[in-house]
Amino acid sequence: MAILQAWFMDNSHEDPQLPHHRNPYEFVSPDHLAELGVLHWKLNPEKYEEDEELEHIRATRGYNYMDLLDLCPEKVENYEQKLKNFYTEHIHADEEIRYCLEGSGYFDVRDKDDRWIRIWIKAGDLIILPAGIYHRFTLDTSNYIKLMRLFVGEPVWTAFNRPQEEHPARRKYIVNFGEKIGMPLEAH
């Protein structure tokens, strides 16, 4: 498992596609990401069509569904709107599994103290966000990413925008990961 670059974000409202490092930089370790339930593998994106390691992950985790998504202004209908939706903080009822085949982008996830952690995904990075984790996504300044999307069974991409403290997936996430690290369920 090669190191994945992740860092705490600054609070500036500049272009989201910029890196948003703090000054000085504050990197986040893979162990910290694992505590939040975020998993990562580094694979060879050039052989994704016949990759035993990828097949093994898919088989052991039951990811029978797969499709490919090319994200750039020229290839996607309603590109601006889609990107806006991706960057709106949300959860899903299921894991979000993405394998970057080309290009790069940012997945942001919340830590236990509700700080944004920015995870920089590049070609070869397969990332799993657990069901119920608050997250969002944006491209970086290269403006291009090609992603494989994996899922167990018929895919459901529904995003539930924050707040979702009563959502069963959120509750389950807090029990599975949040409670161990002192993440509060929010009152509202």
Q: Which helix (H) or strand (E) holds 148?
A: strand 145-151
Is residue 72 close enough to count as binding ligand KMT by CB under 6 A?
no
Residue 188 is labelled as binding a ligand: no
Residue 74 is labelled as binding a ligand: no
Residue 98 interface partner, choices Fe ion, ligand KMT, none, CB cut-off 5-8 Å depending on type? ligand KMT
- # chain residues binding ligand KMT, by CB under 6 A: 9
Q: Which of residues 82-141 bind ligand KMT (CB under 6 A)?
A: 86, 96, 98, 135, 137
Output the six-digit token pair for 67: 């499709």
Taking the alpha carbons of 163, 169, 175, 178 in that order, is the dihedral positive or negative?
Answer: negative
Residue 108 interface partner, choices Fe ion, ligand KMT, none, CB cut-off 5-8 Å depending on type? none
Cβ(115)–Cβ(183) under 8 Å?
Answer: no
SS (H, E, C) 53-118: HHHHHHHHHCCCEEEEEEECCCCCCCHHHHHHHHCCCEECCCCEEEEEEEEEEEEEEECCCCCEEE
Per the listing, tokens 């029990």 go with 175
The one among 66, 152, 159, 185 contacting ligand KMT by CB under 6 A: 159
The distance of closest approach from Cβ of residue 32 to Fe ion in the complex, given in angstroms and rounded to an integer, is 20
Residue 92 is labelled as binding a ligand: yes
The distance of closest approach from Cβ of residue 157 to Fe ion in the complex, given in angstroms and rounded to an integer, is 8
The distance of closest approach from Cβ of residue 184 to ligand KMT in the complex, given in angstroms and rounded to an integer, is 23
Residue 96 is labelled as binding a ligand: yes
Could you give phi then psi for residue 84, rounded to 5 degrees?
A: -65, -45
CA distances from 103 to 106, 120, 139 (A): 11, 11, 9
Instruction: Give the residues lining the site for ligand KMT (CB under 6 A).
Output: 71, 86, 96, 98, 135, 137, 147, 157, 159
Q: Which residues carry a binding-site annotation for Ni(2+)? A: 90, 92, 96, 135
